[in-house]
Structure 1
Amino acid sequence: MTLPYKIPQSVLVVIYTPQHEVLLIRRVEPDPLAPPFWQSVTGAKDFPEESWAFTAAREVWEETGLDCRPGGPFEHGLVDWELENIYPIYPRWLYRYAPGVTHNTERVFGLGVPHKPDVHLSPTEHTDSCWLPMADAADLCFSPSNAEAILMLMHRDRLPLGRSGA
């Protein structure tokens, strides 16, 4: 069953290597005059009862082709940072939400990968990807909460990278 409106609960997944290179993906922008919209993996819950972790793993798979779902090669790299941001929804996207909904709750995850894996983008959502050092990735991000999450890598000594062998 498709809900008529987006659920105002989303995930942000910062994907990074042991060398603290961060994956950014460029959103499809319908306005050709708009600046490039670079971000980490993001996405809303499909239904209210969907767990944060399931949403995070599903969005990573859908947007990058990297599999951190249960049984996937990067399963153990996905870590819930237990951080939530609440922010106003940008006016140009309010139509996607039920009338009166003005704020979104975003749960932050990290996905540590042992190397820079090949990324397979969803062409309806993203046009390009790149791996950048943390500071450069944060500077390129459109979203302030995304930039802050990336910069947290510098202050979170020994973020778990999981035990993925892939």
Structure 2
Amino acid sequence: MRNISDLIEQYLKHMLDDSAGGAVEIQRNDLADKFSCVPSQINYVISTRFTLEKGYMVESKRGGGGYIRIQRVDLPALNSIQLHFEQTIGDCVDQSAAEGIIYQLEEARLVTRREANLLRAAVHRETIALKLPQRDEIRARLLKSMLISLLVK
């Protein structure tokens, strides 16, 4: 059985898919009531599963009429993907950011689940058994090289 965080995530993603502009505004308390959970559970899901690295921009307004706005951030066109990776990944990237980029590509269906799993395995800290900062530098080079090979036709 799926946990409450998975259900909330899928619900929000479904709302995003159905939205015209790729953005939704939600009331945290209303969503917590819908899922019979505490509002902090909603915060947890949004802060861990709707990050910029995973392709989402989150904005919140506190107060009586407050809301949380989640917007999907689209990847650039494939013809500029190499420049995008150069800017996004840079000369070094930590494991969390690398996994976020891979997640975003998988969500956008630019890589298959199998390809995403291979990418994750290749950039994992246990695979690149070096000390920092060399590990993050090698991870960045590997990730950029593999993504360009996969995505640039």
Do the structures match in fold with TM over 0.5?
no
| Greater relative contact order (CA < 8 Å, ≥ 6 in sequence) | 1
TM-score range, shorter chain: under 0.3
Indicate the structure (1 or 2) with the bigger Cα radius of gyration.
2
TM norm structure 1: 0.25
The structure with the largest helix share of the pair is 2
The structure with the largest strand share of the pair is 1
